[in-house]
Amino acid sequence: MMRRMIIGLCLLLAGMWEIGCQHSELSVADYQKWVEQEDNPTLIQDKTMGDLIFSAKYKPRSYVAMLHAGTTQIPPLRLQAMEDSLKGYEYFTFKIAHPNHNTELLKLNLNQQDEYFARVEYYSFGIQNDFFLISGQDTIPCALSHFERTYGLAPHATFTLSFECQRKVHEPLTLLYNEKVFGLGLIALRFEAENLNKIPSVSFF
Amino acid sequence: MKFAVWIIAIVLVFGVGFGAGFLFQRGDHTAYVDTAKLYNDFEMKKELEQKVTEVQLSRKAQLDSLKINFVALSKKTNPTLEDRTKLQALESQYHQMQQQFEADNGKIVQYYTNQIWTQLNQYIRDYGKQEGYTYIYGGDGSGTIMYAQEKRNITPEVVAYVNARYKGKGK
């Protein structure tokens, strides 16, 4: 009787361990799928401000390395080497969307045509100076910002961002954007440390 | 017989309980915020106010230095024609700058005030939705709310919420 109880308890603990560690390791393909989920609460933070929705996706280094490799059939050593080369940087995808607007976001509340071109120029070059990342006590300027132009095909604006930053395990990250086009001011999106620490790792076995 | 009475009693108790709960749920859940306090305690307002003060001080310093030159020149005992021309130019430059700065200061304050209220209104809407309020009134002392029970004042909770949201926390 006692033996059965001990075995049952062990099985229960093993089950709980399995559930608790569900996301701790994923295969390369599953990892990519997990990161690319549209509503991944671990990696995505968003904020509605007036008519606009600002969202940011934290891109783990392994994922960025996979994108650089361009394939899920990547040998472990190569992935590791690529990840090492990306060390010291944090990556995000930042999106500005207007849910009730069907045309290009840059054409929203436009007063004259010149303003459109000024916005294109700002989103392509100037916006980098308005992104910051807070990590611990440091406010880090954006190292790289890339605006993905859609030429009127999508009602949102998407930016790829990178920051020269090495996050400490206990520290959250806060992405700051000083919104100037629509006059909304500072938009902060905070990624809690506990969520970032839950990000699974890639398993090859 | 006794059993049937018990069943009816239980059904009645639960029925009344559910009915009361349903009515209470449907009742308007209202509260008010002291808008002046909310505005003043909002971190964004404090940060932008600091920025405006810095800009205004730097502009004032520019004007003051121009004024010093202007006053020094005007106190000259035997001014030459060149001095008088320079004085006129300085005076005109001073007034032009003063007008420009005043206009710009007004614009920048208006621009920041709009930003602050856009964000505050959004956060209050989010708070109302999250906490299930039917109405949140703004008690700004201009007659919107003439009286409210103190327990309906949710200003401290809203101040904490808007500042947390401004810093990027929660949803």
Q: A118-156: per-residue pLDDT in tens?
A: 999 999 999 999 999 999 999 999 999 999 998 888 889
One-letter identity of residue A161: L
Among A109-118, A177-186, B4-13, B102-111, the range scoring the smallest mean pLDDT is: B4-13
CATH code of the domain in which B48 resides: 3.30.910.20
- From chain A, pick out residues whose CB is under 8 angstroms from the CB of B115: 183-185
Full domain range(s) for residue B116: 2-166
Q: CA B110 → CA A132, B57, B104, B116, distances in Å?
A: 25, 18, 10, 10
Q: How confident is the model at residue B107 (pLDDT cuts 50, 70, 90)?
A: very high
Secondary structure (DSSP) of A65-108: HHHHHT-S---HHHHHHHHHHTTTEEEEEEEEE-TT--S-GGGT
Question: Is B16 inside any structural domain?
Answer: yes
Count the neighbouring beta carbons within 10 Å of the beta carbon of residue A197.
Answer: 11
Assess whether pLDDT exceeds 50 at residue B42: yes
Q: Strand runs (DSSP E) across chain A, as ranges? A: 25-26, 44-49, 52-59, 89-97, 131-135, 138-148, 156-164, 173-179, 185-191, 201-202
Mean pLDDT calculated for residue range B4-18? 64
Q: What is the pLDDT of residue B23?
A: 46
* CA pair distance B112, B51, nearest whole angstrom: 10
Maximum distance among all Cα pairs of chain B, rounded to whole angstroms:
121
Question: Is B136 inside any structural domain?
Answer: yes
Q: How confident is the model at residue B50 (pLDDT cuts 50, 70, 90)?
A: very high
Q: What is the pLDDT of residue A29?
A: 87
Greater confidence (A45 vs A16) lies with A45
Tens of pLDDT, residue by residue over B109-127, are 999 999 999 999 999 999 9
Q: How confident is the model at residue B16 (pLDDT cuts 50, 70, 90)?
A: low
Q: How confident is the model at residue B72 (pLDDT cuts 50, 70, 90)?
A: confident
Q: Is B165 exposed, middle or buried (0-12, 13-18, 19+ CB in 10 A)?
A: buried
- From chain A, pick out residues whose CB is under 8 angstroms from the CB of B44: 185-186
Q: What is the pLDDT of residue B63?
A: 92
Q: Domain count of chain B?
A: 1
Q: Is B57 exposed, middle or buried (0-12, 13-18, 19+ CB in 10 A)?
A: exposed
Residues above pLDDT 70, as percent of chain B: 81
Q: State whether B48 and A184 contact (CB < 8 Å).
A: no
Q: What is the pLDDT of residue B1?
A: 57
- Which helix (H) or strand (E) element contains residue B50? helix B43-74
Instruction: Give me the residue label for tokens 């709009």.
Output: B114
* CA pair distance A63, A81, nearest whole angstrom: 13
ipTM: 0.75
Assess whether pLDDT exceeds 90 at residue A157: yes
One-letter identity of residue B69: N
- From chain B, pick out residues whose CB is under 8 angstroms from the CB of A39: none
Tens of pLDDT, residue by residue over A20-65, are 445 588 888 899 999 999 889 999 999 999 899 999 999 999 999 9
Backbone angles phi, psi at B143, to 5 degrees: 105, 0
- From chain A, pick out residues whose CB is under 8 angstroms from the CB of B169: 190
* CA pair distance A28, A36, nearest whole angstrom: 12
CA distance A33 to chain B (A): 25
Question: Is B30 inside any structural domain?
Answer: yes
Q: State whether B119 and A184 contact (CB < 8 Å).
A: yes
Specify the 3-state DSSP secondary structure of A149.
Answer: coil
Specify the 3-state DSSP secondary structure of A151.
Answer: coil
Of B119, B167, B168, the CB nearest to A185: B119
Q: What is the pLDDT of residue B84?
A: 87
CA distance B40 to chain A (A): 17
List A90's β-bridge partners, or say none.
A163
Specify the 3-state DSSP secondary structure of A205.
Answer: coil
Assess whether pLDDT exceeds 70 at residue A9: no
Secondary structure (DSSP) of B159-171: HHHHHHHHTT---
Question: Is B171 inside any structural domain?
Answer: no
Residue A109 falls in which region: left (phi positive, over 0), alpha (psi -120 to 50) or beta: left
User: Which residue, A1, A19, A14, A34, is CA-closest to A203?
Assistant: A34
Q: How confident is the model at residue B26 (pLDDT cuts 50, 70, 90)?
A: very low
Question: Is B54 inside any structural domain?
Answer: yes
Q: State whether B119 and A49 contact (CB < 8 Å).
A: yes
Order of strands across the sheet that contains A89-97: A44-49, A52-59, A89-97, A156-164, A138-148, A131-135, A173-179, A185-191
Q: What is the pLDDT of residue B144?
A: 67
- Residue B86, token pair as written in the block: 């320079």
Number of Cα atoms under 13 Å in the Cβ half of residue A196: 23
User: How many CB pairs (< 8 A) connect A and B?
Assistant: 40
- Residue A39, token pair as written in the block: 């509503």
Q: Average pLDDT, whole number, for chain A?
A: 88
Q: What is the pLDDT of residue A90?
A: 96
Mean pLDDT calculated for residue range B31-45? 93
Q: What is the pLDDT of residue A23?
A: 56
Q: What is the pLDDT of residue B142?
A: 64
Q: How confident is the model at residue A13 (pLDDT cuts 50, 70, 90)?
A: low
Q: Contact at 8 Å (CB) between B117 and B96?
A: no
Tens of pLDDT, residue by residue over A72-124, are 778 888 888 888 999 999 999 999 999 888 888 999 988 898 999 999 999 99
- From chain A, pick out residues whose CB is under 8 angstroms from the CB of B164: none
Question: Is B115 inside any structural domain?
Answer: yes
DSSP letter, residue B21:
H
